Structure 1
Amino acid sequence: MTSACPGSEHEHGSGSGSGGPGPAPRLVVHPPDHRGWRRVRCDGRSLGTAYRISDIAVFLAATGMEDAEDFDLTDPALVDWRGGGPDCWTPPPV
């Protein structure tokens, strides 16, 4: 499986062996703010604010991930989309 955040694979093992729940998603995309922008965090570390989905691949590439543009942002095992999925980039209703 491709790691969402290179360099820290040892930090998030489930510790339960096979059959137990897997590790929590390591990449978290927060809900859109009042402008529709979304904060992106990996292992608790801020990667930046995304204005569109393609920004996330740029953030991942900056962490050293090879082939970041091919990373599956729709995989719930790797990405925790909060407040809407990868197609949600509009501000919440006022």
Structure 2
Amino acid sequence: MTSACPGNDHGPGEPGPAPRLVVHPPDHRGWRRVRCDGRSLGTAYRISDIAVFLAATGMENAEDFDLTDPALVDWRGGGPDCWTPPLA
């Protein structure tokens, strides 16, 4: 993995910082904004879009990145299975 975004860059046994990859809550369409280190990567319509964004940052093997690991990804407003708009 390159340092293009994701993983927490700390050694084994060290407490890690907050995840660098943040997936924001679904909007009124069910789409989710994705940010890394405060920089917008895009708007995801499904979980596979996030791997595409990571690959575009230069991350090697982005399709193998564990998007379900809470140490690596901060899923806000629902986890990786939540893509429905909030109730009005």
TM-score bracket relative to the smaller structure: 0.7 to 0.9
Question: 1:19 offset after TM fit, Å?
Answer: 5.6
User: How large is the Cα RMSD of the aligned pairs?
Assistant: 2.8
Residues 22-41 of structure 1 deviation map (CA, whole Å, 9 limit, x = unaligned): 11100000000000000000
Alpha carbons of 1:51 and 1:85: their partners in 2 closer, same or farther (altered >3 Å)? Answer: same
The answer to whether residue 65 in structure 2 is matched with residue 67 in structure 1 is no
Once superposed, which parts of structure 1, at least 4 consecutive aligned residues long, lie more than 6 Å away?
none
Unmatched 5+ residue regions in structure 2?
none
Normalising by structure 2, we get a TM-score of 0.87
Aligned 8 A contact 2:6 2:19 in 1: no
Distance 1:4 1:28 in 2: 14
Aligned 8 A contact 2:25 2:33 in 1: yes
Aligned length: 88
Alpha carbons of 1:86 and 1:6: their partners in 2 closer, same or farther (altered >3 Å)? Answer: closer
Normalising by structure 1, we get a TM-score of 0.81
Unmatched 5+ residue regions in structure 1?
none
Among all aligned residue pairs of Structure 1 and Structure 2, give the percentage whose two residues are the same amino acid. 92
Aligned 8 A contact 1:6 1:64 in 2: no
Alpha carbons of 1:82 and 1:4: their partners in 2 closer, same or farther (altered >3 Å)? Answer: farther
